[in-house]
Structure 1
Amino acid sequence: MSTTRDRALDAAVELVGEQGIRALTHARVDERASLPKGSTSNWFRTRDALVAGVTTWIAETERAEFAAGGALEITTPDELIDALSGFIVAQTEVFAPRTRARYAMFLEGRRDPTLLAPLLEQRGLYVEWTTALLGHIGAAHPAEAARMLMAAGDGLVFHRLTVDPDAEVRPVVERAVRACLD
């Protein structure tokens, strides 16, 4: 069973993902989460604390899902293509509001390095994992390949969220992964 804090954070992520960072207020979170007025401010006294809580919540949630998703068991390029394709589809469909919220928090964090820290830490874990994985499956220059692959993935996610929600994923991911191995 989720706590009132969890419900508030889930609602806050939905609000930011659907309406942008300006929609994030204690009252709107309480309303979205069907919590009594003032509940969110019990956990997060200021708006800055709420924004920081949302940022940390996104990073923690995604880290837990990543760890539980079996991504660490990938051993071939085709498995990586399948996993990344599925990840991008999920981030742009089922988890689209959270993905939009993450992007909003990255932009908001440009003015506050402490706000950005949980997201950058999360990103760093993905970079390390991708670099090690690419080295394991045969990339000659795994660090460079990881930067390219992640940039391609970010571009595809952004494109699906903003321009073409039906853009094909697998062919793009396959080209990017194969290019990493050349």
Structure 2
Amino acid sequence: MASTRDRALDAALALVGEQGIRALTHARVDERAGLPKGSTSNWFRTREALVAGVVAWLAETERAEFASGDATPVETPEQLIEALADVIAVQTGPLAPRTRARYALFLEGAGNPELLAPLLAQRRAYVEWTLGILARVGARHPEQAVRTLMAAGDGIVLHRVTVDPDAEIRPVVERAVRACLD
């Protein structure tokens, strides 16, 4: 069974993803997690501490998922297109609330480097993974290509979690990957 702290953090992340950063209060987290009143504040005394805890929890959760990924090795442009389309489909489908929470937390931490650090570290890991794949599949300038591909990916993810959840993924990813290989 998950600890009280883990239950509070899971509930907090869900609240931010579903209702936005303003919904993040100790009382709402306790209620959402089914915890006695005051439980969340035992772990996170201030709202700032709660936000920082949620940021660290999100990064920790995603890092663990990334490290345990059983993904098929990507060796061809077609495999890269499929892998990225699959990741985007999951991030904007079943994990859409968590994706919205990540965006909300990035915005919340825009002026706070300490708060952003875990999210940026997570992003760097994903950039490094993508950079290695781009080099393997033949990108002549993988450092430039990774920025293009990440921007295109961010664009379709943001579009799907905010405007059009049914927007096609694969054609966008395919155009971006092909452009990165030209």
Q: TM-score, normalised by structure 2?
A: 0.96
Counterpart for residue 147 of structure 1: 147
Residues in 2 aligned to 1:92 and 1:143: alpha-carbon distance in whole angstroms = 26
1:53-111: CA deviations, max 9, x gaps? 10011111111112222347222211111111111011111111110110000001012
Q: Share of identical aligned residues, percent? A: 73
Q: Which amino acid in structure 2 is aligned with residue 80 of structure 1?
A: L
TM alignment of 1:73-152, pairs within 5 A: 73-152=73-152
Question: Shift of the alpha carbon at 1:49?
Answer: 0.7
Read off the aligned partner of 2:41 and give its amino acid letter.
Answer: S
Q: What are structure 1's unaligned runs of at least 5 residues? A: none
Task: Quote the Cα distance in structure 1 between the aligned partners of 2:135 and 2:55.
Answer: 30
Partner AA of 2:5 in structure 1? R
What do the CA deviations read for 1:27-60 (whole angstroms, capped 9, x no partner)? 1000000011111111111111110010011111
CA deviations on 1:83-141 (whole Å, 9 max, x unpaired) are 11111011111111110110000001012111011001111111111111100111000
**CA-CA distance at 1:3 after TM superposition:** 1.2
* Aligned equivalents of 1:14, 1:106: Cα separation in 2: 15
The aligned amino acid for 1:30 is D
Please report how far the alpha carbon of residue 26 of structure 1 lies from its aligned counterpart in structure 2 after TM superposition. Answer: 0.6
CA RMSD of aligned residues (A): 1.1
Partner of 1:25: 25
In the alignment, structure 2 segments of 5+ residues that lack a partner are: none
Q: Amino acid of the residue matched to residue 107 of structure 1? A: L
Tell me which moved more, 73-82 or 167-176: 73-82
> Which shifted more, 82-91 or 70-79?
70-79
Q: Which residue of 2 aligns with 1:4?
A: 4
4+ residue runs over 4 A deviation: none
Distance 1:118 1:7 in 2: 20
Structure 1 distance, partners of 2:180, 2:16, is 34
Secondary structure of the corresponding residue to residue 64 of structure 1: helix
The Cα shift of 1:168 comes to 0.5
Letter of the structure 1 residue corresponding to residue 147 of structure 2: R
The total of aligned residue pairs comes to 182
CA distance in 1, matches of 2:125, 2:29: 29
Give the aligned residue type for 1:16. Answer: V
TM-score for the superposition, normalised by structure 1: 0.96
Q: Distance in 1 between matches of 2:65 and 2:78?
A: 21
Corresponding position of 2:176: 176
